[in-house]
Each structure stands twice: as structure tokens, then as C-alpha cells.
């Protein structure tokens, strides 16, 4: 081998080593990068125009607090709107064209990256007689067209179920509503459950796994102005068993407009969120998560608010939300209240729970 060939080989080998080192360094950086998120389901749970003078200051206060947490993204597990748009396909199209852009504009105003789930209100609200079941594909299509979530879910639920991988975090969103044989089930089944199994299997290297869906799976859950929707068969459902078998850490959900936190088989089910414009729902509860190499810190926070005034018009809703929502002086004076903490630590293939306080001790 002549000198030129030796020189070429040396240069090539040096470049290879440098690139490999840079790749490993970048991998370590990505792994060690702290990921922050804020979760607040049921935002708003009604059709709220934008702007709306009676809500704007309270909404801006809340989203300012969310933004101050410096999240990489926010999670909203369903019921963005009221969605009583069951007068026909054109009604779904028209009303979706008003209230989804209004909702999105608020997120964009604060520069928030959001990942949403389908709630019952995105499908016209329960129950689902035959006339409403026929509109479900239209509801899903309009939601999909405006929210534009990742299109990597099962074929029948593109943009409705999906996953996001960020460093050592796997985030999966599911639609907890399935029509089978012309009957609506509150469940994750069929093609979607097989897809969920595959995504979890393909991402076993993720240190932390979070699943969000609209309805809780199990438990005695506190309710404020809710429909009590829960996953059919609860802990006996295949959905629950898949989460447990794949060692999912958190299941984030809403629907009950109050906070109930339960732990079973290593899985934390965190029911939280709110419903804007109901006197009885006088808090906005949100979860702050911070994930590093082998640690996930969770903090539940509470903002007090008051609903007043006449009922706002919402289509096919006799008593919509109140026209005015204000942040309560208690919060204006003291800021958001910490109502619970939890830290999950992964080490030597073991999962430990420490710093448990407040609502996490239920």
C-alpha cells in the first residue's frame, strides 16, 4: 500500500471515529435533556368564542401560568369544545370551523406546543343514539383537519391516536371511544389496541411511558358536573392489562372535572382538569411534569376561579357555561397552590415512588 492510500485510510478512519463520538455525545445529550410538560384536560369543555370579554383575562392568566412553567409541550386529554353539533354534517363542519380555530389561536398566542386527545364532546357528547353515531366519522374528520396531530396511529384512527418520542419519554395518545357493530363503547380495542401493543413493544428502551386518553379506567373518582364515563370493564379491560404488562408509568385523563389520583400495579392514573363556566367547578387543576435521565417529578397545582352571570349560548345546550369567569382573589394574591407531589425513580430495573404528598396520597 503506497503512502497516498495509507493517508486516505487514516483520514477515513479518523473521520469515522469523530462521527461516532459526536453521535454518542448527541445521544447522551438527548438522553440527559430535561423534558417538561403541563397537562390540563377538559380545556374548555364548552364552545368558547375567541375573543370573549368575560373569559379573556382569566384564560390569559391561566395560560400565562402554564407558559411560566417553560413546558416543552402541553397535554389536553379531550373536551376542548362543547360539540353539540349534531344537526348534521354541515353543522359539524361549520361549528368546528368556528371553535377549533378559536381554541388553537389561544395556544398559539402563548407559543404552546400541544398534544390533544379526543373527548366525548369532540364526538358530539354522550349518549350516542343512532343519529349521532352516524355523525362520528364527520366529528373525527373535522377534529383531525383542525388539530393536525401526528398521523402515525392505526389506519382507522390517523391523527386521533398517535405517539411522540422525545428522548427517553414515550408519549401515546389514545381515543377512548370505539364504535363496534353500531354500538359506542368507552374503550380502547380492536385495531387500536393492537397498535398500542406494537408501539409499546417497539419503544421498550424508553425510560418513561405516558399514555393520555379522555376517560379514566378504574376507581371511585370525585366528580363535578360530569357524565361518569369510564373505560368498560375497568381493570378487567384489555387496555388496562396492556398498560400494566408494558410498565406504563402514567395514565393522564379528565372527564370528571376534579382531581383523583390512584396507583395500581405501578401505574398512576391521574384524573384532573376542569370545566370552564360552571359554578361548582371552581378550580383549574393542572399537572407539571419534569423528566430527566431516570427521574420524573410531578407536581399538581390549583388555580381558583369563579363563574358568574347568565348562561352563554351553546348550540343544543339549554344551560351553557356562565358568561363570566374570573380568577379568584385567593389565587391572584398567592399564585397557584401546590396540592400534591410525586417523584418516580427508575434504577436497576426497579421503580420507586418518593416525595409523595397531598393529592398523590389519596
Kindly state whether residue 4 falls inside one of the protein's structural domains.
Answer: no
Pairing state between β 169-173 and 208-212? parallel
- Could you tell me the three cell numbers for 155? 389506519
Of all residues in the chain, what percent carry a pLDDT higher than 90? 89
Residue 350 pLDDT greater than 60, yes or no? yes
Report the pLDDT value the prediction gives residue 348, as an integer from 0 to 100: 85
Kindly state whether residue 244 falls inside one of the protein's structural domains.
Answer: yes
Kindly state whether residue 12 falls inside one of the protein's structural domains.
Answer: no
In degrees and rounded to multiples of 5, residue 111 shows phi and psi of: 65, 35
Report the pLDDT value the prediction gives residue 17, as an integer from 0 to 100: 44
**CA geometry: angle 318, 51, 285, nearest 5 deg:** 70
Contact in structure between 84 and 95 (CB atoms under 8 Å): no
Kindly state whether residue 159 falls inside one of the protein's structural domains.
Answer: yes
- Give the three-class secondary structure for 334: helix
Helical (H) or strand (E) element with 236 = none
Kindly state whether residue 355 falls inside one of the protein's structural domains.
Answer: yes
Show the beta-strand stretches assigned E in the chain: 35-39, 73-76, 114-116, 162-166, 169-173, 178-180, 183-185, 208-212, 250-253, 260-264, 267-271, 283-291, 295-311, 322-327, 337-347, 350-358
Q: What are the pLDDT digits (tens) for 68-104?
A: 999 999 999 999 999 999 999 999 999 999 999 999 9
Pairing state between β 169-173 and 162-166? antiparallel
Kindly state whether residue 202 falls inside one of the protein's structural domains.
Answer: yes
From the list 157, 177, 188, 92, the residue with the least C-alpha distance to 131 is 92
The count of domains in the chain is 1
Q: What is the domain-level CATH number for residue 231?
A: 3.60.21.10
Kindly state whether residue 3 falls inside one of the protein's structural domains.
Answer: no
**Rounded to whole angstroms, how far apart are CA atoms 259 and 262?**
10
Q: What are the pLDDT digits (tens) for 324-348?
A: 999 999 999 999 999 999 999 999 8
Of all residues in the chain, what percent carry a pLDDT higher than 70? 91
Query: Which are the contacts of 183, defined by CB distance < 8 A and separation ≥ 6?
Result: none
**Rounded to whole angstroms, how far apart are CA atoms 97 and 79?**
16
Kindly state whether residue 19 falls inside one of the protein's structural domains.
Answer: no
Instruction: Provide the domain limits for residue 45.
Output: 35-361
Amino acid at each position: 500500500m503506497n503512502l497516498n492510500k495509507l493517508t486516505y485510510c487514516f483520514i477515513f478512519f479518523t473521520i469515522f471515529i469523530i462521527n461516532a463520538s459526536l453521535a454518542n455525545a448527541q445521544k447522551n445529550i438527548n438522553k440527559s435533556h430535561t423534558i417538561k410538560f403541563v397537562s390540563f384536560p377538559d380545556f374548555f369543555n364548552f364552545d368558547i368564542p375567541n375573543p370573549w370579554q368575560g373569559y379573556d383575562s382569566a384564560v390569559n392568566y391561566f395560560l400565562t401560568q402554564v407558559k411560566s412553567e417553560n413546558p416543552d409541550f402541553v397535554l389536553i386529554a379531550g373536551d376542548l369544545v362543547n360539540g353539540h353539533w349534531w344537526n348534521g354534517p354541515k353543522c359539524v363542519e361549520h361549528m368546528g370551523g368556528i371553535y377549533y380555530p378559536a381554541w388553537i389561536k389561544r395556544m398559539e398566542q402563548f407559543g404552546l406546543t400541544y398534544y390533544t386527545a379526543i373527548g366525548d364532546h369532540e364526538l358530539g357528547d354522550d349518549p350516542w343514539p343512532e343519529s349521532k353515531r352516524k355523525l362520528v366519522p364527520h366529528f373525527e374528520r373535522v377534529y383531525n383537519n383542525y388539530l393536525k396531530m401526528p398521523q402515525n396511529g392505526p389506519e382507522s384512527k390517523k391523527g386521533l391516536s398517535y405517539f411522540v418520542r422525545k428522548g427517553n419519554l414515550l408519549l401515546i395518545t389514545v381515543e377512548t371511544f370505539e364504535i363496534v357493530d353500531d354500538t359506542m363503547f368507552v374503550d380502547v380495542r380492536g385495531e387500536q389496541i393492537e397498535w398500542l401493543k406494537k408501539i409499546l413493544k417497539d419503544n421498550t428502551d424508553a425510560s418513561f411511558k405516558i399514555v393520555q386518553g379522555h376517560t379514566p379506567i378504574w376507581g371511585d373518582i370525585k366528580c363535578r358536573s360530569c357524565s361518569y364515563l369510564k373505560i368498560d370493564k375497568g381493570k378487567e379491560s384489555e387496555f388496562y392489562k396492556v398498560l400494566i404488562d408494558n410498565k406504563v408509568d402514567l395514565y393522564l385523563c379528565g372527564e370528571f372535572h376534579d382531581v383523583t389520583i390512584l396507583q395500581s400495579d405501578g401505574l398512576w392514573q391521574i384524573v384532573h382538569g376542569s370545566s370552564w363556566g360552571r359554578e361548582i367547578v371552581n378550580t383549574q387543576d393542572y399537572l407539571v411534569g419534569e423528566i430527566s435521565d431516570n427521574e420524573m417529578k410531578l407536581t399538581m397545582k390549583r388555580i381558583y376561579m369563579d363563574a358568574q352571570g347568565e348562561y352563554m349560548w351553546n348550540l343544543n345546550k339549554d344551560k351553557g357555561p356562565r358568561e363570566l369567569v374570573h380568577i379568584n382573589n385567593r389565587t391572584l394574591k398567592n399564585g397557584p397552590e401546590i396540592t400534591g407531589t410525586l417523584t418516580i425513580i427508575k434504577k436497576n430495573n426497579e421503580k420507586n415512588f418518593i416525595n409523595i404528598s397531598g393529592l398523590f396520597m389519596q
